[in-house]
Structure 1
Amino acid sequence: MIPPNASLVKYDNPVLVSRNTDKKTPRAKSLKVSPAPPPATGPVPNAPAKQKLQPMDAKSAQQTDEILNSILPPREWTESGQLWVQQVSSTPATRLDVVNLQEELDRRLQQRQARETGICPVRRELYSQCFDELIRQVTINCAERGLLLLRVRDEIRMTIAAYQTLYESSVAFGMRKALQAEQGKADMEKRISELETEKRDLEKQVNELKAKCEQIEKRAQEQRQVEEKKHQEEIQFLKRTNQQLKTQLEGIIAPKK
């Protein structure tokens, strides 16, 4: 028989429930083999009083077992076609058991190299097993207190599950944002490359237009210089012509005096 993984929760000895797992009934999980009480070998004083308390104690023990099975369900595994069931122990715990539980918890934390701080699945699993064992011990002494601790345990697990879901959704959201940013970065780089190409083309056009403007200005300046030179020549020609006409006019007027 190969027992399941060791746990900090105290269990009874495994019990063979069925030799053929295909023929077991759904109610086979709730089966429990309990040793029969030894027969009385002689007269016992106050026997009627014990017989009156025995049904109440048996009923209380049965209720405790049912509560324990509902809080910590029995473990099941198969081996060679045989179904084995191991129910949680209903033996009350002593102070020494609590001390041993603490020492075993510390030993397993060190053995499995659990982290002391931060998120650690190993530390969480071991502390969860330790809490289940404490619930088992408390439930045996007081079922109501055990059920209240069960509510606390379930609330803690639900809160951790909510935080885990929130963490996973935040990670997924961050990944989506990172992919969007990466995609936007690629688009932006492409846009920058296009703008740089457009800038180079525009600079080339500006240089061509500047060269064209310089040529036009140079040609206009040369033309202006030619026109000014021609204008000066015309002025000089008109001045000489005017001087000649003035001289001829003076020559014509002078003899009459």
Structure 2
Amino acid sequence: MVTRQQGPRRGWTPSLSASTAVMILPADSLVKYDSPVVVSRNSAETKSSKARHLRPSPGPQTFTGPVPSPPKAKSPVGDSNKEQTEEILNAILPPREWTADGQLWTQPVASTPCTRMDVVNLQAQLDLKLQQGQARETGICTVRRELYTQCFDELIRQVTINCAERGLLLLRVRDEIRMTLAAYQTLYESSLAFGMRKALQAEQGKSDTEKQIADLEEQKRDLERQVNEQKAKCEAIEKREAERRHVEEKKHMEEIQFLKSTNHQLKAQVEDIISYKK
């Protein structure tokens, strides 16, 4: 039984079931791959295969039927071009590998030429996976970015099969795009960290400023209290001095009246004395 993991991501997590031997294939991708093949087996099967190789081979077999015709010779130029194309494809898109049931499986990218129908199907699969993954139409979306990355890799594969040089040039374009995105991501992370530092500094400065404001308000209240006390003292002094001045004025008026009456009496006595002498 083969179990596929559906999802927009290209990574996979190999795992084994404890009850049944289940081969878990990598997550489905828009890149077209060949059928998976076994690269290595477990230790027991490796030992048995070595033992089979050590056994003596049986004697020559005799064929009673007609002798089969020799295979047709293949073109060495075509084989070399195909091998070169496969090497370039494996360098651009490395084969996927995973372990299942103690066996190492590998799955290289397909090297069969593509047709117009393959491109139409690729577009339909892209639209379907965008809808299934609920990718955002605008803004930052990891699902949409991953799917378009897979679509671009599939286009590179299709172009490389027809023209290896064009595929390598598209590989440079893809690497440049990834490097630019990585630079923007690094810039975003650094700016985010800078913003966080500034926010923390602002928060710390805010607390210090609030503490300074509280101290200044306390000083203001203390100064206002001192001003009120001084005003109260000033009013008390003014009131006391006004009362003292009123008392002094009254005393002064009494002295003036006393002196006037005394002067009047003395004047009258002097006039009496003068009139008496005459």
Question: Which stretch shifts more, 56-65 or 176-185?
Answer: 176-185
Rounded Cα–Cα distance in structure 1 between residues aligned with 2:71 and 2:156: 40
Whole-Å separation in 1 of the counterparts to 2:33 and 2:99: 17
Gaps of 5+ in 2: 1-22, 47-67
Q: After TM superposition, which residue ranges in structure 1, 4 or more long, deviate above 6 angstroms?
A: none
- Give the counterpart letter for 2:40 in structure 1: S
Which amino acid counterpart does residue 69 of structure 2 have in structure 1?
T
Q: How far apart are the structure 2 equivalents of 1:254 and 1:68?
A: 157
- Tell me the secondary structure at the aligned position of residue 247 of structure 1: helix
Q: Does 1:55 align with 2:83?
A: no
Counterpart code for 1:247 = A
For residue 206 of structure 1, what is the aligned residue in structure 2? 227
2:271 aligned with 1:255:
no
Counterpart residue number, 1:129: 150
1:10 and 2:38 aligned: no
How far, CA to CA, are the matches of 1:73 and 1:186 in structure 2?
55
Aligned length: 233
- The Cα shift of 1:256 comes to 3.4
Cα deviation 1:172-192 (Å, max 9, x = unaligned)? 222222222222222222222
Amino acid at match of 2:39: V
- Determine if the alignment matches structure 1 residue 86 to structure 2 residue 114: no
Structure 1 stretches of 5 or more lacking a match?
A: 25-39, 45-49
Aligned to 2:250: 229
Identity of aligned residues (%): 74
Q: Which residue of 1 is the match for residue 176 of structure 2?
A: 155
Residue 125 of structure 2 is matched in structure 1 by 104
SS at match of 2:171: helix
CA distance in structure 2 between the aligned counterparts of 1:112 and 1:215, rounded to whole angstroms: 85
Higher helix content, 1 or 2: 1
Q: Deviation digits for residues 192-235 of structure 1, max 9, x if unmatched?
A: 22222222222222211111111111110111111111111111
User: Closer, same or farther in 2 for the Cα pair 1:80/1:43, shift >3 Å?
Assistant: closer
TM-score, structure 2 normalization: 0.79
Give the TM-score, by structure 1 length.
0.85
Taking the aligned partners of 1:135 and 1:176, their CA distance within structure 2 comes to 42
Structure 1 residues 65 and 177: alpha-carbon distance in aligned structure 2, compared to 1, 3 A threshold? same
Deviations, residues 34-66 of structure 1 (Å, cap 9, x unaligned): xxxxxx83697xxxxx76xx2222211111111
